Amino acid sequence: MRAQTQIAHLYRNGLGVEKNSTLARHWYLKAAKQGGAEARFHLGKMYFEGDGVAKDFRRAFKWFERAAEEGYSTAQYRLGAMYELSQGVIQDYAKAAYWYQQAANRGMPQAQFMLADLYYKGQGVPQDLVLAHMWVNLAVSTTRPADKDYNDMVLLRDKLERLMSENQIRTAQNKLESWQPVN
């Protein structure tokens, strides 16, 4: 299954072989049918992007969901984004928060940032500046300044700190210090 996924990556990216999305899809599907979460995620990504197949958010969602249920954090993050942005599903902030939470618990900074934003806005979860601050601080601490969302993370953290009391900030920092990722 792992080897099949690797072969699919080679075809999808044209690494050492001619790029061939049809063969990539074939090998991902073979691995996905055997329970490969990574292959399921990449099949979903092909449908999400319309890479060698017709763009189809519903099919992408199906594959992402199967990978996410196996604990694949990138798929969990994608499901959160699809629910938040209404891509192939009805917009549902509570489900977005659930999937972001799953990926955030596994240490994914982008999911931590998105979850922080939902807590800040009170979308899908009760508004909670302490949890928003904890999650965005965690994201900032594991993201490099050159990364795509880093500046937005810092802006959210700074905005939260202007709204919070010293006690709330201290509580958020204590939560951050005791946080442990889920495997």
Res. 176: pLDDT tops 90:
yes
Per-residue model confidence as pLDDT tens digits over 82-93: 999 999 999 999
Spatial separation of the C-alpha atoms in residues 95 and 153, rounded to whole Å: 22
Mean pLDDT of 91-115: 98
CA-to-CA dists, residue 66 to 34, 101, 134, angstroms = 12, 17, 29
pLDDT attached to residue 121: 98
Residues, the chain, total? Answer: 183
Res. 20: pLDDT tops 90:
no
Give percent above pLDDT 70 in the chain: 100
Res. 128: pLDDT tops 90:
yes
Residues 6+ away with beta carbon under 8 Å from 116: 131, 132, 133, 134, 135, 136, 139, 156
CB-CB contact of 15 with 23 (8 Å):
no
Confidence of residue 70 (pLDDT cuts 50, 70, 90): very high
Angle at 61 between CA 123 and CA 116, to 5 degrees: 25
Q: Taking each helix axis from N to C terminus, what angle separates 129-141 and 109-121, rounded to the nearest 10 degrees?
A: 160
Mean pLDDT of 34-57: 95
pLDDT attached to residue 169: 97
Mean pLDDT of 165-170: 97
pLDDT attached to residue 181: 93
Nearest of 74, 153, 86 to residue 120 by alpha carbon: 153
Mean pLDDT of 64-74: 97
Res. 183: pLDDT tops 90:
no
3-state helix, strand, coil in the chain (%, to 5): 70, 0, 30
Computed over every residue of the chain, the mean pLDDT equals 95
CA atoms within 13 A on the CB side of 125: 22
Mean pLDDT of 127-138: 98
Q: Taking each helix axis from N to C terminus, what angle separates 73-85 and 93-105, rounded to the nearest 10 degrees?
A: 160
Spatial separation of the C-alpha atoms in residues 139 and 130, rounded to whole Å: 14
pLDDT attached to residue 2: 86
pLDDT attached to residue 14: 87
Res. 1: pLDDT tops 90:
no
Spatial separation of the C-alpha atoms in residues 79 and 65, rounded to whole Å: 7
Nearest of 26, 179, 40, 37 to residue 112 by alpha carbon: 179
